[in-house]
A and B are shown apart, each in its own frame.
Chain A
Amino acid sequence: MTNPLNSDDFSELRLEGVSRAFGKSAALADLTLTVKRGEFVALLGPSGSGKSTALNCIAGLLPLTAGTISLDDRRVDHLAPEQRGFGMVFQNYALFPHLTVRGNIAFGLKMRKVPRAEITRRVDAALALVQLSAHADKQPGQLSGGQQQRVAIARAVVVEPPVVLMDEPLSNLDAKLRHEMRAEVRRLHQELGLTTIYVTHDQEEALSLADRLVVLSDGRVQQIGTPEEVYLRPINSFVADFMGYRNLLSMTAHGVDGADHLLLRGDGIELTAVRNDESVLDGPVTVAMRPDDLVVGQSGGNQFSAVVTSIEYQGRDFEVQAVATSGAALFLRTPERLIVDQSISIGISPERLMVYPATKKSTPAAPVPEHEAV
């Protein structure tokens, strides 16, 4: 078998119908995705959505139950992880505790039987890249969390892998460091021209880092698109909920009005929404609204009244909970200082209403354990 795969001669990584079942439960079903060279793709979803399973399948740490993975036209899904030549950054870093920082970074090069002089040169370069040259001879245990994460990233990229896989690499860091490392990850991706597949449950992280998002739930792809597409036009109520559309109302669609806006009614509220080709024109629907899109006072669009039930100060603005006359609970953000039990008028522009076919209130399926792979 001719390998190692040369990072220069591939143009895309293709996943076709990649599936993974544990016993009878499907942790990942039918993932089809093409990642272009140089792209930064984030797999996003809540825990148990199958995102880590997907990453482990790509890495080769978990065998597929169905589907194929190929680099251009070369199948790699039957190869062992060490033969695929991908780099991986783990959530808890998984540094080799008995090796120094230098030893950790050099490990992959040694496995590839790179000449010693070149190992030294490339490790030095990688150390400089992650700004750890001063810590080269320390043990991983002597480093801070952020520094350990840099070592893990350097270890993964030093072998110049065709694809770098990152499994929630920032989730063990505190908020401030997470922000710094996020910029760092993006910088490395661009500077080194990496192809990165990044798993996270943090939508903000995914939006800020990725060129494309793959939103997963219950092992199935919900939506694939650019951050803007996913953020502004979630494809279904699950994605909407996950992307921060906290207000989900059950309403009924009643055709269109004169301005070609969709007419929605439910529990005494009447709203209009911009329709698109896939809009349900009649029958029960779920209406999704972001708290930031709800405006207190007149806004020239939809208008309805509500009573404030609780207020949380959040620094820049207030998070307000209110109950509409219909009885529906609403979340909104406003810089205005309101008081509990105050009656307010809430407005929202018809463009910012997302309308989806009503989903049955199904109890969520038992979460599939995200198996630890070896």
Chain B
Amino acid sequence: MPSLPTASRAAAESDHARALSRVSLRHRLAERGLDRIIWLAVPGFLFVVALFIYPAIFGVVLSFQPNDDSGFFGNYIEFFTDAYLFDTIGNTFRIALPAALINVLASIPLALVMRGKVRGKRAINTILIIPISLGTVLVAEGLLTYLGPQGWFNRILMGIGLIQEPVRLTHNIWGVIISLIITGFPFAFLLTLSYISGINPKMEEAASTLGAGRWQQFYRVTLPLLAPGLAITFCLTFVLAFSVFPSAVMLGNPAGDSHVLSVAAAQTAFQKYDFPLASTISVITAVVELLVVALVLLWRSRLYRGSSAGGKG
């Protein structure tokens, strides 16, 4: 295009109009953020589609294709009518709910104490990360010895005269819950700590200058600001506890009161080789989890969720 010397304004404008209409598709896509760089995300996206989304859909479809010819909902009917299978939902809740609640509630006071600069904070965080890194299998193996009738835990309790007979803490849901606390509490604490660190302590000081006592500062200022974070922490901890697997088998009583959903699913798949029914149990696990998470998030959506950093904080 030749350059325009001092062309008249009208001519220039019509030229611009033409130039505008000539804007290429590539340019228009670039305007929406779609240029060559986008290709970099394609491998990641395809990966998630192929190994997460597709298997998930495959699992849902499979759950509607029972091995026997009991029809479309056959597996679901079997799950809800077989008491042994149906009870897994209750069993899982009885383990996961207390574990998640204890983890979240216990992490609040510790996080309150550990916010800001505290001596030895990194050391404490490091110790806390150990059970997470070791994983549930090792913790379960350790607890078997430690909590067993001859283990140190019972010995100490008997030694100080709290109990006369060893308490049974393994091969029932207590062991499972304790193992979920040992691996889940550090997780809940570190999350809560990161949420509580985001709240400007000046706000509590402001509340105190207005005459709020320490409990009032916590209850009326910190807790409402922390609540959305606690909701997320609860969801993540609950989901972790709800899918408890190795410790339920190793520390619990997988044929009885720790016959949880994941144990049922794994047994169905690898002992009975009934993959469609196993998928059904997985789908039901996911649905129940999502329901709980949705309920908590629904409650969370009614809370204040704006900035809690406050000013330049």
Contacts and interface: CB of A to CB of B under 8 A. Distances in A.
Touch between A and B in complex, CB under 8 Å?
yes
Interface of A: 14, 16-17, 19, 30, 32, 63, 65-68, 70, 73, 75
Given A16-B12, A17-B12, A67 B3 contact: no
Nearest to B27: A63
Given A16-B3, A73-B3, A65 B30 contact: no
Interface string B28-40: 0011000000000
B308 to A, nearest CB: 26
Interface in B49-86: none
A174 to B, nearest CB: 19
Interface stretch (B14-22, B186-194, B225-233): B14-22
B16 A70 contact: no
A73 B2 CA distance: 8
26 contacts: A14-B3, A16-B3, A16-B4, A17-B12, A17-B13, A17-B15, A17-B16, A19-B16, A30-B12, A30-B13, A30-B16, A32-B12, A63-B27, A63-B31, A65-B23, A66-B16, A66-B19, A66-B20, A67-B19, A68-B1, A68-B3, A68-B19, A73-B2, A73-B3, A75-B1, A75-B3
Contacts of B13: 17, 30
Contacts of A65: 20, 23
A32 B7 CA distance: 11
Contacts of A16: 3-4, 12
Nearest to A64: B19
B1 A67 contact: no
The dominant DSSP class at the B interface is helix
Contacts of B27: 63
Which 5 residue pairs are nearest across A and B when measured between Cβ atoms? Answer: A66-B16, A66-B19, A17-B16, A66-B20, A17-B12
Contacts of B23: 65
A63 B20 CA distance: 12
Contacts of B15: 17
A70 B3 contact: yes
A67 B16 contact: yes
Interface string B241-280: 0000000000000000000000000000000000000000
B16 A63 contact: no
A156 to B, nearest CB: 25
Contacts of A75: 1, 3
A67 B30 CA distance: 18
B30 A63 contact: yes
A301 B107 CA distance: 78
Given A30-B12, A67-B16, 18 more contacts: A14-B3, A16-B3, A16-B4, A16-B12, A17-B15, A17-B16, A17-B19, A19-B16, A30-B13, A32-B12, A63-B27, A63-B30, A63-B31, A66-B19, A68-B1, A70-B3, A75-B1, A75-B3
A30 B10 CA distance: 12
Contacts of B4: 16
Nearest to B22: A66
Contacts of B30: 63
A32 to B, nearest CB: 8
Contacts of B3: 14, 16, 68, 70, 73, 75
Contacts of B19: 17, 66-68
A76 to B, nearest CB: 11
Contacts of B16: 17, 19, 30, 66-67
Interface centre among B15, B16, B20 (most CB of A within 10 A): B16
Contacts of B2: 73
A73 B1 CA distance: 10
Nearest to B21: A66
Contacts of A30: 12-13, 16
A70 B20 CA distance: 18
Contacts of A17: 12-13, 15-16, 19
Contacts of A63: 27, 30-31
B31 to A, nearest CB: 8
Interface string B155-175: 000000000000000000000
Nearest to B12: A17
Contacts of A19: 16
A17 B12 CA distance: 7
B4 to A, nearest CB: 6
A75 B15 CA distance: 16
Contacts of A32: 12
Nearest to B19: A66
Contacts of A73: 2-3
A311 B3 CA distance: 56
B34 to A, nearest CB: 13
Contacts of A67: 16, 19
A41 to B, nearest CB: 19
A68 B18 CA distance: 13
B164 to A, nearest CB: 66
Nearest to A73: B3
Contacts of B31: 63
